Amino acid sequence: MSACLEVRDLARAFGGVRAVDGASFSVLPGEVRGLIGPNGAGKTTVINLVSGLLAPSGGAILVEGREVQGLAPHRVASSGVARTFQNIRLFLDLTALDNVLVGQHRLRHPSLPSRLLGLPASRAEERQARERAAALLERVGLAERVHERARNLSYGEQRRVEIARALASEPRLLLLDEPTAGMNPVEVQAVAALIRQVAADGRSVLLVEHNVRLVMGVCDAITVLNFGKLIAEGRPAEVARDPAVVTAYLGTAK
């Protein structure tokens, strides 16, 4: 089975700091891959590199076999990659529904003259887009909050709108950067179930997360980074026992 995402010898330096230093791993279709590591390990940098917000200083990123490293973010998105942000980046003045509509951008192909004249074809296209967006919000448990402005939503609700917005582009690969940060345990459970559903649809997920129980429970495989380098990889139970991982998180006894 060919990988949905393949990262080869990926490197990115900020000044003298090698945030990502020759990391290689891949995510299979329909796989939930955890990306963990201590603070400053380079996890968010990897997400920024894969989504195109940063250009790598070395290495390759392949999405479904095509090289995307160094491409503009909107081109990476066109090859089927969507993401959420660690520090939620919703369009705060738009409603939850309209945020999800923005997420549909690359799938919608309305005709400009038809829209300017308000023709039935454009109204039908918009109605369908709204229905799809509303269905996604229902799926993340926000059916009641569809028309609320994003800025008026709670933290957990905002995170879920962001996931719905990312799913709106029907990505092959979903990058989640700490999707449960600041959520209560009930909300975390709901997100875990949602991640499994997304994978069951055949989409791949790369999950950066600090909540160990979530990572262990939801991931098929885990990649561990420390100081930008890959230090362990494998099934959750194996990784949890790996001495290198324990050392990275807890330090060594001298």
Partner 1 sequence: MMEGLADLYATYQSTLAYIGLNGLLALSIYTSLSCGQLALGNAGFAAIGAYAAALLTMNAGAPFPLALAAAAVVPALVAIPLGLPVLRLKGIFLAIATIGFGEVVRIGLVNWDYVNGAQGLVAIPQKASVGLIWIVLAAATLLLWRLRGSKWGFALEAIRQDEPAARTMGIDTASYKLAMLMLGAALAGLAGGLEAHFTFMVAPNGFGFSRVVDMLVFAVVGGIASVWGPLFGASFLTVLPEAMRDLAPLLGIEPGPLRMLVNGLILLAVILFLPQGLVSLGARWRERRAARARRAA
77-106: which residues touch partner 1 (CB under 8 A)? 77-78, 82-83, 85, 89-94, 98, 101-103, 105-106
Q: What token pair was written down for 156?
A: 């957990």
139: contact with partner 1 by CB under 8 A: no
Q: Which is nearer to partner 1, 19 or 167 (CB)?
A: 167
The least CB distance from residue 127 to partner 1, in Å, is 12
72: contact with partner 1 by CB under 8 A: yes
The C-alpha angle 141, 136, 129, rounded to 5 degrees, equals: 145
119: contact with partner 1 by CB under 8 A: no
Strand-pair category, 5-14 with 58-63 = antiparallel
Q: What token pair was written down for 82?
A: 């969507």
Q: Which is nearer to partner 1, 18 or 130 (CB)?
A: 130
What is residue 119's DSSP assignment?
-
| Rounded Cα–Cα distance for residues 23 and 40 (Å) | 15
74: contact with partner 1 by CB under 8 A: yes
187-226: which residues touch partner 1 (CB under 8 A)? none
- In angstroms and rounded to an integer, the radius of gyration of the C-alpha atoms of the chain is 19
Beta bridge partners of 11: 21, 58
| Rounded Cα–Cα distance for residues 210 and 12 (Å) | 22
Q: Which is nearer to partner 1, 46 or 188 (CB)?
A: 46
Point out which residues bind partner 1 (CB under 8 A): 51-53, 72-74, 76-78, 82-83, 85, 89-94, 98, 101-103, 105-106, 108, 110, 112, 115-118, 122, 126, 129, 165, 169
